[in-house]
A and B are shown apart, each in its own frame.
Chain A
């Protein structure tokens, strides 16, 4: 179609269809949606003016995508059936492409119409379901159905490349694929149209400078409102995104419709105060981004008849949108959305189930229905007390991957554990309550003691091997038979000397003595005499050997040989003096003595090993106890293993 200049059939004002692909133009004078047809221009009805927005985008803004320049020439505002809004910007490319830049919750998606591949059949709107995987729609990239719903065109501006009829409803399904691939199926057309593209940043499309610099003044102006129920003042933090807000003065739940507040219902009070420890509108910096708390809610799950409560704070930053701060048992996690297509799961959420995300494996921890019990502040969807979702949590400390599913939508988010002190620092508060118990995604901080802490044990083994030549190559320096003559009396020991022998320095010494005792004993005091210094090292070697038989059979006790190890002595020539007493003192006592050096006894190694093993051992005990405490709160505790770590 060619460029067409004409007059608005409603108000007579001049209108011009600048782009050849434009089907509908919104008259800037009377807000009529004007469609051009073969027979001229048709008035489709009035469309609302798009309310003030914090979007960094505006009509006429230029950008670049895939090397092609484009201009934003139109904008449609669509409303989700649950109340949320999103904008779709019509991007007219210089090479004739027609693109759509969707903007929702601070995220941007550039998509283009894509004819379905040959032979592909889309499931009908009734058949398509969140979580369903559609193959072959995007070259090699499976697409996961993220959401299905019904969109209503509530406002528009500029030029639109399709027949936008004000307040017309059209079913749609959003799909996501790996690496930011995004697709929308528009079931309003027959057969359905598919738009395929990617999630982009403003920098990706050459609009990095498109910042909402002028929005502050507008926002503050737009945010000053009064409660329609009590008349009390009300301030909105994200007026262009908020869908529902509570009145702090009368505890009413209010709808926000294009900047106007409408009374919805009174909040049902909780039996106990909600106990929010952070207040709405307070600001904090998390992971380098400044957020404002715009809402808070109490949620609960019921497991085995017991109800567990926790708090969630909705954080808002104009540039990146919404995030969550989860406060449970005084533990904190910071959560952000993830692309469902980046999560690999087998669709099985029973005991032992795992999912993969970002190269990490997450184990299932909980699968329950979460219920909203109380809300305060503002929310980007029409939140309601009693709202239920299926919530499935998977953990890989310090992260928790959570899936929330309704019949129309599936969302994944990842939460990272944040210590209380960091939350205190982030929000400039003190004395937040101390956590109790172990959080599902709380990292174990004592792994050092059985990882790096076990390194000395490894070093000890290496050292022992290295030191083997110094400790374990045994060398006999004396082996001699000595006969002690009969004792003069029972109390007068006999003495004999060995031949001289050499001892080397820095090598341990072991003296072994053997005597042919039989149901008797001999007691030997053996002195090692240094011939040069005459210094003496004494050891006592008792020998006793008994045997016999009783009702249990043969028995023996003791040994005819015994030894005594010594630490190293100064090197030099030595003699053994053997002084003995024995039971059969009237008879001579033949004694065999042996002196060896470098005896590998292992006592030193064992003592060092035990000393170094104590801390790693207790570290492992602590870890086991920590993991037991973590998993005892899980409904899948049999799936617990202890390989999660910080």
Chain B
């Protein structure tokens, strides 16, 4: 059971990585004042001013 869960998790990580590479998503940058209406992972977070 845990093996199946782990493989599911691994597949999700690989999918997320491939998606991020394809769509140009970055994890760590700013965007707290973003007005583009895009999700956090898209805009990222770099820290406050």
Contact = CB atoms under 8 A, between A and B. Distances in A.
A538 B14 contact: no
A448 B6 CA distance: 11
Given A453-B6, A537-B43, A565-B26, A604 B13 contact: no
A295 to B, nearest CB: 41
A566 B6 contact: no
Contact of B23 (A506, A565, A611, A612): A506
Given A567-B42, A567-B44, A615-B6, A603 B14 contact: no
Contact of B43 (A449, A464, A567, A603): A567
B24 A608 contact: no
A607 B31 contact: no
Contacts of A535: 35-37
B22 A539 contact: no
B6 A567 contact: no
A449 B41 CA distance: 29
Given A538-B34, A569-B36, A448 B17 contact: no
On chain A, which size bracket covers the interface? 35 or more
Contact of B30 (A463, A539, A607): A539
A538 B31 contact: yes
A384 interface: no
On chain B, which size bracket covers the interface? 35 or more
Interface in A418-475: 448-449, 453, 456, 459-460, 463-464, 467, 470-471
B27 A607 contact: yes
A587 B17 CA distance: 46
Contacts of A505: 24
B26 A566 contact: yes
A604 B25 contact: yes
Contact of B13 (A453, A506, A540, A608): A608
Given A536-B35, A603-B28, A566 B13 contact: no
B16 to A, nearest CB: 7
A567 B10 contact: no
Contacts of B11: 456
Contact of B14 (A456, A508, A570, A607): A456
Interface of A: 448-449, 453, 456, 459-460, 463-464, 467, 470-471, 505-509, 523, 525, 530, 535-540, 542, 564-570, 597-598, 601, 603-605, 607-608, 611-612, 615
22 contacts: A449-B6, A453-B6, A453-B10, A460-B13, A463-B18, A471-B24, A508-B24, A535-B37, A536-B35, A537-B43, A538-B30, A539-B29, A540-B30, A566-B30, A567-B26, A567-B42, A567-B43, A569-B36, A604-B17, A608-B14, A612-B14, A615-B10
Given A565-B46, A598-B24, 9 more contacts: A453-B7, A471-B24, A508-B25, A535-B37, A537-B31, A538-B35, A565-B28, A566-B43, A568-B23
